[in-house]
């Protein structure tokens, strides 16, 4: 009997499209600390599939294939989703991303919901949020804090 999902995969896996997937692999590894897994090259500068690992988790990506309906935010001129990732030391991760030239869209800060986060945009416009959970917050406390923010 086989495992479902396959051994080593989580149940939900982001699958991102890039106009220049090889450059994206290099950027994501250098700036965000991902490690290369399986790379399926389909010719010069074209990746049919890539798996990047961060701890026990994986993100899939590939070259954008218009005929399959895949497009990069760079090509679309907009973003349709974002990726949220928990890391063990978000402050060190933030410094690494800044040092690698990542575009930081929201500086690192403690959030009302118990996470310390920062937000960044990668080389083709995908939005990423990196977080570290620093305190447990009850649903009631979270709702009260959100309501207070909405009144400001």
Is the pLDDT reported for residue 33 higher than 80?
yes
> Which pLDDT band holds residue 96 (cuts at 50, 70, 90)?
very high
| CATH 1.10.150.20 fits domain 15-150 | no
CA neighbor of 23 nearest in space, from 47, 51, 59: 47
Distances (CA, A) of 137 to 13, 27, 113, 115, 147: 27, 34, 6, 9, 15
How far is C-alpha 29 from the chain's CA centre?
A: 11
Q: What pTM does this model have?
A: 0.84
Question: Could you report how far apart the first and last alpha carbons of the chain are, in Å?
Answer: 56
What integer is the mean pLDDT of 86-98?
96
């Amino acid at each position: 009997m086989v495992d479902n999902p396959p051994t080593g995969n989580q149940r939900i896996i982001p699958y991102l499209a890039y106009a220049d997937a090889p450059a994206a692999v290099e950027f994501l590894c250098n700036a965000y600390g991902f490690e290369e897994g399986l790379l399926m090259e389909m010719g010069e500068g074209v990746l049919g599939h890539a798996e990047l690992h961060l701890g026990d988790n994986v993100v899939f990506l590939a070259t954008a294939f218009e005929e399959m309906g895949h497009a990069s935010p760079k090509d679309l001129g907009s973003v349709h989703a974002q990726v949220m990732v928990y890391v063990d030391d978000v402050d060190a991760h933030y410094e690494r991303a800044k040092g690698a030239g990542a575009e930081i869209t929201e500086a690192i800060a403690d959030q009302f919901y118990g996470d310390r986060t920062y937000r960044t945009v990668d080389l083709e416009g995908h939005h990423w949020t990196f977080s570290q959970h620093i305190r447990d917050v009850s649903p009631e406390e979270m709702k009260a804090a959100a309501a207070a923010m909405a009144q400001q």
